[in-house]
Structure 1
Amino acid sequence: DRYQLEFKLAYPIDRAQKRTHYRLSIFIFVPQNLGIHRHSYTSADFYRDIQNYIRLKTPSMSLTELAEEPASPLNVMTRLLREGNWPKDRETAGQLINSFKFTRAILKSAIRDELEAFVRQMAGRADDAHLSSALAEQINDLCAQVQTVVRAYRTAETLLPETIESANPLIQEVRLAYKLSDEAISLLVERDYVRALLLLRRLPQDERVRQVAACLAACAEAEAAYRRAQGYTSVIDPNSRNEEYMYRASVLKKYTSSVLFLYRALRREGTVLEQVLYAVAAGVSMIFATLVAFYFQQRYGNFTTPFFAALVVGYMFKDRIKEIGRLISSRYLQRYLYDRRIDVRTMDGQERLGYIREKMHFIPEGEVPPEVMQARNRQLMTELANDGQGEQVIRYDKEVTLFCNAFEHIYPNMPQFTGLNDIMRYDIRPFLYKMANPTERVLYVQNGRLRKAKAHRLYAVNFVLVYQDKDRVQGDGQAVIYERSRAMMDRKGLQKVEVFA
């Protein structure tokens, strides 16, 4: 997406403790000429532009464990189908449907981990002939393991009664969930076969690499043919716009991932304290006005000009004292409290897994921690570009608290969950409004002749992420993680993103 930056964070739980705590801070360094400051970009604007997706972390299993481990969702599914109690028990039927979805979720995670390991092995060694043959064999083994899992899943269909043979709504519901998950699995493995094929094309093309590539291509085509034979409509047609394909692929992905979704209850933090402080401010102002009125009434009596003037002046100061008290209270709350709190629960609301507190505000550069400024690594040209005024700095703080015991009660028949994933998407369109034209024609001289060239104008917005496991830092003093990212953008959106260690 040209208009969104994505940050993905993991919050693993420590089962040895009742609670696990994390603190995250993101410092956004914005050039002065983009017109982003505390008056033009409020906290409400920021929270409008940032979107949080909080999910359960997919249980970690290898493809071999998914196929062979008794507690894997694939084998739990087979066991529940063979026991045959699910058509009469909605709870068991629900466990069966969840096992379909978890099979796809864990399969996706396991294949992704394997492919990422291949990419790491290829880094800087893509021309190594020995590595080429070894990777080809590993990818071939991966393909075989994926096919083993997929065959086991599809074999389980023989244990399902035909929908037309029964009016039992549970049978219809379970069979529909099975077919939807089956289509989602087929789309997933076809996509990953293609990704593996692209990796092979980056290697030296010896005989073994070509054989494995041909096998992957055949497997990908077989998946498309399978979906067509099953009557699934998520098949690419090169002569159409493939709107149905994109729509079904997106819906099926959300459907099978729904077992990882969590319910988020959002509310402002410190609402009660805010009202108490406002009431105190109103009370102080009323005390002042009342004392003034009593004094002048006793001194000059009722229905006199001084008493009337005192009432007016007292009311004037009462109003100002009240507003000043509200202002002081707001600053106090902003300094010591967070903007909002997100309670994280399971979708059925049965388990409260933790809560997240968020806060956003602009800070002067003098308040930026030295370690963050060092990670920012600002150069001379940046100082000159901002007329020596520095940059506008947005600080976004997030404090995460997880209740470790609650994770043991989620999906008891599935593998244990080890934490949460937090995916943050940040819309950068407000940064684009005051940018100049993205390209400009410039003249230069070459070999005595005037020539034209196109120059591209980019703006850099830097993000420094500070990630801290509060328990570990307080316990054994481990270092906090600092990571800097630079988003290069123009009026048309993001052009590239660079990550620095």
Structure 2
Amino acid sequence: MIRSKIEIHDKFSVIIDVTYDRISKSKKSKYTTLTYLFLPDSLNINGKTYPATKFYNDVRLFLKYDTPNYTLGEISRGERLLLKNLTKNTEIFIKNRTNQNFPLFKNQVKMFAATLSSLLRDETDTLIKRKKISNDEIIDFIEKINLIVSEFRAIVGMLKESSLKDTHMNVVFYADEHISNEIELQLMKLFNNIKNRKIETNSLEMIVGLIESEQKYKKQKNYVSPKDKNVNPEDLLYKRNRLKKYIESVFFLYQDIRKDGAMFEQTVLAFAAGLAMVFSTAVAFYYQQVYGNFTLPFFIALVVGYMLKDRIKGSVSQLFVSKSNSFFYDYKIKVTNALDNKIGLIKEKFSFVPLKILGPKVKKHRQKDMVIGISERSLNEQIIEYKKKVTIYPKKFGSDLSDENILGLTDITRLNFHRFIQYMDDPKKDYILVKKGEVYMKAANKVYNINIIQKYYTEDGIEFSRYRVIMNRNGIKRIEKVVLD
């Protein structure tokens, strides 16, 4: 099973977030994804101006475990294993503070904080997207947060009384501060979204009260708090970002990136060198027999033979390598976890492709919702194909984290479109409006559409999705999801 979404990361970048589920505990799970970028020809992005090296400079790949499948309600009611595992591993570590138990304890603390933060973001977004939010829903959301945080901070208090080393306690303090920051951030986002809606006043007061309570708590615990007048806002944001990276690193995986088919390529180059050497040696033997040693014709034959040897070596190498590229990807990425266990393999390949080789469904999805009804030949677009082959190895999957709810591998691909703006027109263009006999000049945004179609091969069949990235010279304005048949 595959779950995917595309979001704006910053003004020039988008994030393609794809989660691949581990289908079986004994059988490898295999997926192939094809991402097509349809670029207007006016951007001058083609095989000549935009080679693979530039594309891979514009792409960043992050790999992580999919966040465990919990809900805030389950955690607040004490169901599932998240809080139970945290309490259990904390008690084990307090009794037996060995170097073997510390990584398990540290990962459990970070995993709880990272999962809770993710659930807070998800539930906040869910509430914001609703057309109507009831007072009871907001009260329920805040009560869940209070209940979970009180249980977690009870564990923090238990650890403080256990006389752990500062290095051990810091893990818990960092998680506590990060959770408080995330509560503050998500509640502020919720408040800003609903303050102009028809919501009962006590709901808004509860949100503000909890934000203020968290800020006071941070100041009391000597965490970086906006309540502290001596705190530089730049330092506050920097520390929050560092804490977020530290906590969420528990789910991120390691990548060993290598060129695909490197051994085969070196073998081909060696074969080409040997073939050229055979030719030059044969020429030398032949003319030695005909003209003898130390003669001018023999000397000339040797020079010509070595000249041809170099050309044969280069031509044969180029021919073989170019032909073999169709059998290999550009790069292969070995995915390993914190215990250095191999849990997956990803291969990736970039190329420009002509429209005629795309399948009929891809063409059909591209022509959906066209502003002007034109034939596919008239689209006049450059098409980038970014292909990935994903294999998940089940035996060691999640072996570094003590949570059986980790079932998927998430591939976060960040695409930077900054190179695409070079040939874009000015972001504003004038147009004429006639109204009541008067002529007016109006300005409108000059935008470009970059269409993205994704094609997934899974064990359940083929899936498609399509998005439209609307941008101009100032950056990305929005992303629209196109509903397919």
Question: In structure 2, how many angstroms separate the alpha carbons of the residues matched to 1:43 and 1:322?
Answer: 25
Aligned-partner SS, 2:181: helix
Matching residue's letter, 1:291:
A
Question: In structure 2, how many angstroms separate the alpha carbons of the residues matched to 1:68 and 1:15?
Answer: 30
Q: Which residue of 356, 359, 362 maps to 2:352? A: 362
Question: In structure 2, how many angstroms separate the alpha carbons of the residues matched to 1:466 and 1:238?
Answer: 52
Matching residue's letter, 1:355:
L
Indicate yes or no: 2:385 matched with 1:395. yes
Q: Is the 8 A contact 1:54 1:261 kept in 2?
A: yes
Q: Which residue of 415, 420, 436 maps to 1:431? A: 420
Q: CA deviation at 1:171?
A: 2.2
Classify 1:194/1:271 alpha carbon distance in 2 versus 1 (closer, same or farther; 3 Å).
Answer: same
Classify 1:251/1:336 alpha carbon distance in 2 versus 1 (closer, same or farther; 3 Å).
Answer: same
Instruction: Please say which of residues 62-71 and 274-283 is displaced more in the overlay.
Output: 62-71
Q: CA deviation at 1:155?
A: 1.6
| Percentage of pairs with the same residue | 29
Paired position in structure 2 for 1:197: 191
Indicate yes or no: 2:141 matched with 1:150. no
Question: In structure 2, how many angstroms separate the alpha carbons of the residues matched to 1:196 and 1:419?
Answer: 29
Paired position in structure 2 for 1:371: 361
Q: CA deviation at 1:32?
A: 1.4
Indicate yes or no: 2:315 matched with 1:315. no
Deviations 1:18-50 (A, max 9, x none): 211111111111111211111211111111110
Q: CA deviation at 1:219?
A: 1.4
Instruction: Please say which of residues 149-158 and 74-83 is displaced more in the overlay.
Output: 74-83
Q: Is the 8 A contact 2:275 2:313 kept in 1?
A: yes
Deviations 1:160-200 (A, max 9, x none): 2469xx5xxx5212211111111111111122223333454
Question: In structure 1, how many angstroms separate the alpha carbons of the residues matched to 2:439 and 2:119?
Answer: 58
Aligned-partner SS, 1:320: helix
Instruction: Please say which of residues 111-120 and 41-50 is displaced more in the overlay.
Output: 111-120
Classify 1:193/1:443 alpha carbon distance in 2 versus 1 (closer, same or farther; 3 Å).
Answer: closer
Instruction: Please say which of residues 171-180 and 419-428 is displaced more in the overlay.
Output: 171-180
Indicate yes or no: 2:240 matched with 1:249. yes
Deviations 1:245-303 (A, max 9, x none): 21121111111112112111111111110011111122222333333444444455555
Q: CA deviation at 1:447?
A: 3.1
Q: TM-score, normalised by structure 1?
A: 0.86
Question: In structure 1, how many angstroms separate the alpha carbons of the residues matched to 2:231 and 2:44?
Answer: 44
Q: CA deviation at 1:118?
A: 3.7
Q: Is the 8 A contact 1:484 1:500 kept in 2?
A: yes
Question: In structure 1, how many angstroms separate the alpha carbons of the residues matched to 2:120 and 2:339?
Answer: 30
Paired position in structure 1 for 2:103: 94
Classify 1:398/1:229 alpha carbon distance in 2 versus 1 (closer, same or farther; 3 Å).
Answer: same
Q: CA deviation at 1:86?
A: 4.6
Question: In structure 1, how many angstroms separate the alpha carbons of the residues matched to 2:62 and 2:124?
Answer: 24
Aligned-partner SS, 2:250: helix
Classify 1:406/1:283 alpha carbon distance in 2 versus 1 (closer, same or farther; 3 Å).
Answer: same
Instruction: Please say which of residues 441-450 and 6-15 is displaced more in the overlay.
Output: 441-450
Q: CA deviation at 1:446?
A: 3.4
Classify 1:104/1:291 alpha carbon distance in 2 versus 1 (closer, same or farther; 3 Å).
Answer: same
Q: Which residue of 157, 169, 173 maps to 2:167? A: 173
Paired position in structure 2 for 1:277: 268
Q: Is the 8 A contact 2:452 2:468 kept in 1?
A: yes
Indicate yes or no: 2:467 matched with 1:468. no
Question: In structure 1, how many angstroms separate the alpha carbons of the residues matched to 2:320 and 2:197?
Answer: 64
Q: TM-score, normalised by structure 2?
A: 0.88
Higher helix share: 1
Deviations 1:323-345 (A, max 9, x none): 22122222123211011111111
Unmatched tracts of structure 1, length 5 or more? 473-477
Deviations 1:303-336 (A, max 9, x none): 5665555444433433332222122222123211
Indicate yes or no: 2:45 matched with 1:36. yes
Paired position in structure 2 for 1:453: 442
Q: Is the 8 A contact 2:224 2:231 kept in 1?
A: no
